[in-house]
C-alpha cells in the first residue's frame, strides 16, 4: 500500500502538469480584472533602517561516534541596507532583492555533546556580533499570453562572532554510576552559515499587479464620495497612474510635483474630472509591495545547498497559486506546493499549503494573517517506489 501510494504521487508530479499545460495550450486561466494585465508595474527602491527580531535556532550534527546539538533563542538588533526591484511587464515578470546588515545578538539555550568519552549537557548564554546578506531573484518569461518559463535563485549568508558562557555537567561515558561532574566553558566562537536554492520550470497563468487599480479606487472613494464610477473609469485612471509612475528612475530620482501635474492633466483630458489639491498626500503611497490578482500553475526541478547537513537536496515540484484582490482593504492569497526531495540518506515528499489574508487599514499599513500546513512523508530510498 505504501509503495502504491508513492507511485501515484510520483506519477501525478511528473505527468499531470504536462497534461494540464498541453490541454490548455493558449487558453486563459480565469483571472479577475484581466485588463489590469495591460498595466506594467515597475518599481525600484533603496531601503535602510533597523531590524529588531527574535528567532529560534536549532542544529544537530550526528555521526556514528558523536552527536553535537543545540537549541537557542536569539534576540537581534541590526542595521540593514536593502535593494528591491519589481518589473511586471507584458512578456516578463521579474523580482530581485538583496539585503545586507550588521548588528548585535544575544541569546540563551541548551547544548549537548556526546562521544565515546563524555556526555556533556550545558546551559548557554551568548553575546556577539553578526553580519548577514540575503538575495532573491525570480524571472518568468511569457512566450505567449499565459504560458511561461521560470528561473528562480535565492541564497543567504550569516557570520557570527560570539562570546559563549556555558554551565552544566559532564557524565563520563565509561562510568554510568559516576555522579555528574560540574562543567563550565567560556569561549569565543565563530559560526558561518550559508545556503543557496534554485529552481527552473514551466507554467501557465499570470498575476496582475493591482496596486494602481487600488490607488484609483481609493482616489474615487476618498475624494468623490457619493459619486458613482464604472469599472472602466477606474481602470482608465489606474492606467494613467501606471504611465506616470513607471517612468521613474532610481538613478535620476523623480519629482512628485511634476508627476502630479502630469497626472492631473492626463486625468482631466481622459476622464473629464478635476482632481483635488489634496491628492499630493497619497501620491507616494499604495505601492510599497505588489498586490497581485490572478492564478498561476508551475512545475519543474529544484535543488538546495546548505553548508551543514542536509547539505544537498534536489527533486521536483508542482505549485499552484491563487491571489485575489478583494477590495481596498484586503487581498486573499492561497498557495499549495507538492515536492519530491531527494537526499543521499533518505527521501521525502512534502506538501506545503498556505492560506493568508492581507489587511490594509490604510495606504501605509499592512497586516497579514494566515495558516500554513506542511505534512511530510519519509521515503527510505527512491527504490522503495519501484
Domain spans of the chain?
2-210+291-385, 211-281
DSSP-assigned letter for residue 30: P
Which H/E stretch holds residue 112? strand 92-114
Q: Confirm if 170 and 185 have CB atoms less than 8 A apart.
A: no
Q: How far apart are CA 49 and CA 59, in angstroms?
A: 30
pLDDT score, position 367: 92
pLDDT score, position 270: 82
pLDDT score, position 181: 83
Which H/E stretch holds residue 57? strand 41-62
DSSP 58-102: EEEEE-SS-EEEEEEEEEEEEEEEEEEEEEE-SSEEEEEEEEEEE
DSSP-assigned letter for residue 180: P
Q: Confirm if 149 and 195 have CB atoms less than 8 A apart.
A: no
Q: How far apart are CA 90 and CA 4, in angstroms?
A: 43
Q: How far apart are CA 151 and CA 194, in angstroms?
A: 21
DSSP-assigned letter for residue 253: B
Buried b (16+ CB within 10 A) or exposed e, 247-269: eeeeeeeeeeeebbeebbebbee
Question: pLDDT tens track of the chain, all 386 residues?
Answer: 444 445 444 544 544 444 444 434 433 433 344 445 467 888 888 889 999 989 888 888 877 788 888 899 999 999 999 999 999 988 899 999 999 999 999 999 999 888 877 888 999 999 999 999 999 999 999 998 889 999 999 999 999 999 999 998 888 766 665 677 888 888 898 989 999 999 999 999 999 888 888 888 888 888 887 777 888 888 888 888 888 888 877 677 777 778 888 888 888 888 877 877 777 778 877 677 788 999 999 999 999 999 888 789 999 999 999 999 998 889 999 999 999 999 987 899 999 999 999 998 887 888 999 999 999 998 875 555 55
HSE of 331, CA atoms in CB hemisphere, 13 A: 22
Q: How far apart are CA 74 and CA 109, in angstroms?
A: 9
How far, CA to CA in Å, does 342 sit from each of 230, 345, 349? 53, 9, 9
Q: What are the beta bridge partners of residue 95?
A: 86, 138
Which runs of E-coded beta strand occur in 143-275? 147-172, 181-209
pLDDT score, position 306: 93
Query: In this structure, what C-alpha cell is assigned to residue 47?
Result: 531601503
Name the pTM for this structure.
0.79
Rg (CA), the chain: 26
Q: What are the beta bridge partners of residue 321?
A: 296, 335
HSE of 321, CA atoms in CB hemisphere, 13 A: 16
Q: Confirm if 200 and 152 have CB atoms less than 8 A apart.
A: yes
Amino acid at each position: 500500500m505504501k509503495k502504491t501510494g508513492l507511485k501515484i504521487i510520483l506519477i501525478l508530479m511528473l505527468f499531470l502538469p504536462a497534461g494540464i499545460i498541453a490541454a490548455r495550450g493558449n487558453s486563459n486561466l480565469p483571472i479577475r480584472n484581466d485588463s489590469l494585465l495591460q498595466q506594467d508595474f515597475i518599481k525600484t527602491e533603496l531601503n535602510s533602517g533597523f531590524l529588531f527580531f527574535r528567532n529560534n535556532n536549532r542544529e544537530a550534527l550526528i555521526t556514528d561516534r558523536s552527536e553535537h546539538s543545540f537549541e537557542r533563542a536569539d534576540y537581534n538588533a541590526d542595521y540593514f541596507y536593502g535593494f528591491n526591484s519589481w518589473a511586471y511587464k507584458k512578456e516578463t515578470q521579474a523580482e530581485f532583492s538583496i539585503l545586507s546588515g550588521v548588528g548585535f545578538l544575544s541569546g540563551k539555550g541548551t547544548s549537548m555533546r556526546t562521544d565515546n568519552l563524555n556526555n556533556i549537557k550545558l546551559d548557554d548564554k551568548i553575546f556577539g556580533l553578526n553580519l548577514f546578506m540575503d538575495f532573491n531573484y525570480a524571472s518568468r518569461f511569457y512566450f505567449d499570453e499565459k504560458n511561461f518559463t521560470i528561473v528562480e535563485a535565492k541564497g543567504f549568508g550569516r557570520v557570527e562572532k560570539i562570546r559563549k558562557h556555558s554551565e552544566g555537567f559532564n557524565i563520563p561515558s565509561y562510568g554510568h554510576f559516576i555522579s555528574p561532574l560540574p562543567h563550565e566553558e567560556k569561549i569565543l566562537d565563530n559560526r558561518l552559515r550559508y545556503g543557496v536554492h534554485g529552481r527552473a520550470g514551466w507554467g501557465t497563468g499570470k498575476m496582475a499587479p493591482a496596486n494602481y487599480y487600488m490607488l484609483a479606487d481609493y482616489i474615487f472613494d476618498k475624494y468623490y464620495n457619493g459619486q458613482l464610477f464604472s469599472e472602466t473609469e477606474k481602470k482608465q485612471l489606474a492606467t494613467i497612474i501606471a504611465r506616470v509612475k513607471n517612468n521613474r528612475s532610481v538613478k535620476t530620482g523623480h519629482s512628485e510635483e511634476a508627476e502630479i501635474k502630469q497626472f492631473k492633466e492626463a486625468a482631466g483630458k481622459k476622464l473629464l474630472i478635476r482632481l483635488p489639491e489634496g491628492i499630493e498626500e497619497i501620491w507616494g503611497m499604495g505601492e510599497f509591495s505588489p498586490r497581485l490578482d490572478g492564478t498561476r500553475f508551475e512545475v519543474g526541478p529544484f535543488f538546495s545547498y546548505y553548508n551543514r547537513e542536509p547539505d544537498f537536496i534536489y527533486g521536483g515540484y508542482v505549485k499552484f497559486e491563487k491571489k485575489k484582490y478583494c477590495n481596498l482593504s484586503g487581498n486573499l492569497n492561497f498557495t499549495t506546493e507538492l515536492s519530491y526531495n531527494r537526499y543521499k540518506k533518505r527521501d521525502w515528499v512534502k506538501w506545503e499549503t498556505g492560506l493568508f489574508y492581507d489587511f490594509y487599514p490604510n495606504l501605509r499599513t499592512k497586516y497579514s494573517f494566515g495558516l500554513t500546513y506542511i505534512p511530510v512523508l519519509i521515503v527510505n530510498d527512491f527504490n522503495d517506489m519501484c
